[in-house]
Amino acid sequence: MSELFENKSKFLSKLPSKPGVYCMLGNNGSILYVGKAKNLKKRVPNYFQSEQRDRKTTLLMTKVCDIKLTITNTETEALILEYNLIKKNKPRYNVVLRDDKSYPYIYVATEHQFPRIEFQRRAKSHKGKYFGPYPNAAAVRETLTELQKVFLVRQCKDSFFKNRSRACLQYQIQRCSAPCVGLIEKNEYDNDVNSTMQFLAGKNKSIVNGLVKRMEQCSEQKKYEEALKYRNQISRLKEIQAKQFVSTSRRTDIDVLGIASDGVTHCVAILSIRNGSVTGNKNYYFKIRGATSRVKIQQEFLSQYYLSIKSPSEIIVPESVTKDSVLENLLSDKAQRKVRLTNNVRGNRLGWLDMAHKNAAYELQCKISSEASLASQLVSLGKLFCNGDQPKRIECFDVSHISGEATVASCVVFNELGPLKSDYRRFNIKSSDYGDDYAALSEAVGRRYKRIKSGEELMPDILFLDGGKGQLSSCMSILQELNIKDIIVIAVAKGRSRKPGMEQLFLTTQNEPLNLAADSPVLHLIQRIRDEAHRFAITGHRQRRNINRKRSRLDGIEGLGPIRRRELLKQFGGIHGVMRAGVEDLSKINGISKAMSVRIFNNLHNHN
């Protein structure tokens, strides 16, 4: 029993009648839950009244060893502090958003003579015009693709644009008007850019009317090719408008929240309406131990989600909110305009709310079905390889490189809930045998399982390897050296045709490979795990390769700092001049000794 509960009455008697934040701590000092209160003296004692607790709070209080208080001047300050603490510490018993990526925008570089249009994750990082945020990256990329077909506005980087001597492939496939080589007049290009921005601002009708007017003028002047271009643009815009499945004449920005819960898993669906049209939706899932009301889910979600982004002018929520609430005032201050939280709606807004509810219910059902399917697959996997015991933890390794360059091995982890991304690991391979997959895999497995044996990581029940007999043999040698025996190791080879469904499984317990049916649930799970390891390895390889290719060949030479590197490149006119230089030539450079010149020469020419 902690000191807190032994001296409960003393602790409660000292609670201040002020607004603030309370953090409930576990036995190791970790934060289990963060909450805020308008009056700490009235709020905190409720946790000690067992008859008023729900199941979640009861479970929480069995683990709480201490409560730390932070007093604030106002309830608004408490709300902000609560948000910051939850985001930083991700307490187990709070509703914590797991998707921390920034939201996608469409950016128009209006400061350029011939503006470009592009996808960006962060707004306000450059001068220009931003449109968004959009609910997901797919919506942005689809919009960019359609706009590129209609208005032919360039999407290339400025460095590419400046160095063109002839039109690129985008011009040939009619995705760009090639302003880089003067194939379009500036005023015409400006018209296309303005039309693009009008469309993104939701002024679709005025764009179409303007294009119709230009088409008629060109037709009257017998400029039939230009008239045809405008007619095609009008047709494409009509197609895009048809995809806007909900719209209203009021050009408002609204988010609509739908909440669905089965008591354990909760889903919040956000329907985004921008300039009167639904632009898409995004879903968030989380689990909280014990029962949690929809009001509580809504309250915590609103504070975490909208305190991290710029809020729209109106947020429609499924559960009632108090008028002029603290959160509403805080969001308004942050956005520097009025932000309304509304619940009692009708007309189009009621339709949107119903749609958000349906989306949340559907996505939750999909999530539950997916988890049920995974549970069934794990049971089948256990029957096949683990003597009927369901595996609780699975790991899979893969190696990625191009001719030995920037070799990266990946380790992905799955448990009963699916991918456990917090436990994923990448290994930058240091082996000198470039291009040797066996050596790379041995190094990665050795580094990983030394940590597992020392207790730093958990031991998996099954270890999958992307490969065949060779990979299996290499891995088993490493595990035997480490004296690790209680683990099932399976190599997954793609088969001769390298088609999904033709995989061969190599095990240590049998000489011949095991072939599962193409529709086997176990094979589907193995394919999913193997493909995730492959994806994670390729991503790491590409990142490492990009870093390597940006690095100078002079980097990493002992004793050669940035000033001397810069002097070398300046004196010899670049890295190729340095490569052609001999030891004597190098030693003539100010600050480069004879020993240093030998070291530089040997490193550049791979001499030991």
Q: Could you count the other beta carbons within 10 Å of the beta carbon of residue 338?
A: 11
- Amino acid at the residue 486: D
Domain with CATH 1.10.150.20 in the chain: 562-604
Kindly report each contact of residues 595-600 with a partner whose C-beta sits within 8 Å and lies 24 or more positions away, as own/partner: 596/559, 596/560, 599/557, 599/558, 599/559, 599/560, 600/554, 600/557, 600/560, 600/568
Residue 74 phi, psi (nearest 5): -135, 165
Ranges of the chain whose pLDDT falls below 70: 1-7, 10, 52, 76-77, 80, 96-103, 122-126, 132-136, 138-139, 202, 204, 236-251, 276-280, 288-291, 323-324, 431-435, 497, 549-552, 556, 606-608
Which of 133, 83, 487 lies closest to 305, judged by CA?
Answer: 83
pLDDT of 244 reads: 46
CATH of region 393-548: 3.30.420.340
Q: Name the E strands within 38-126.
A: 66-71, 105-108, 117-120
Q: What whole-number distance in Å separates Cα of residue 299 and Cα of residue 319?
A: 9
Q: How many residues does the chain have?
A: 608
Which of 168, 172, 150 lies closest to 160, judged by CA?
Answer: 168
Q: Name the E strands within 237-391.
A: 254-261, 265-274, 277-287, 314-316, 340-342
Residue 396 host element (H or E): strand 393-402
Domain with CATH 3.40.1440.10 in the chain: 3-89
pLDDT of 52 reads: 64
Decide if 4 contacts 65 (C-beta within 8 A).
Answer: yes
- Amino acid at the residue 518: A
DSSP-derived 3-state class of residue 451: helix
Q: What whole-number distance in Å separates Cα of residue 369 and Cα of residue 179?
A: 51
Domain with CATH 3.30.420.340 in the chain: 393-548
Residue 46 phi, psi (nearest 5): -60, -30
Decide if 491 contacts 472 (C-beta within 8 A).
Answer: yes
pLDDT of 229 reads: 78
pLDDT of 124 reads: 59
Q: Could you count the other beta carbons within 10 Å of the beta carbon of residue 342?
A: 16
List, in sequence order, every residue forming a beta bridge with 24; answer none if it has no partner: 33, 67
pTM of the model: 0.53
Q: Could you count the other beta carbons within 10 Å of the beta carbon of residue 194?
A: 16
- DSSP assignment letter at 247: B
Decide if 437 contacts 443 (C-beta within 8 A).
Answer: no
pLDDT of 332 reads: 87
Q: Could you count the other beta carbons within 10 Å of the beta carbon of residue 334?
A: 16
Residue 230 phi, psi (nearest 5): -65, -35
Q: What radius of gyration, in Å, describes the C-alpha atoms of the chain? A: 31
DSSP-derived 3-state class of residue 14: coil
Indicate the CATH number of 562-604 among 3.30.70.920, 1.10.150.20, 1.20.120.1200, 3.40.228.10.
1.10.150.20
Q: What whole-number distance in Å separates Cα of residue 168 and Cα of residue 158?
A: 14
- DSSP assignment letter at 182: T
Indicate the CATH number of 254-365 among 1.20.120, 3.40.50, 3.90.380, 3.30.420.
3.30.420
DSSP-derived 3-state class of residue 288: coil
- Write down the architecture of domain 3-89 according to CATH: 3-Layer(aba) Sandwich (3.40)
Q: Over the stretch 542-565, which tens digit does the pLDDT of each residue have?
A: 888 887 766 667 776 777 888 888
Q: What whole-number distance in Å separates Cα of residue 366 and Cα of residue 364?
A: 5
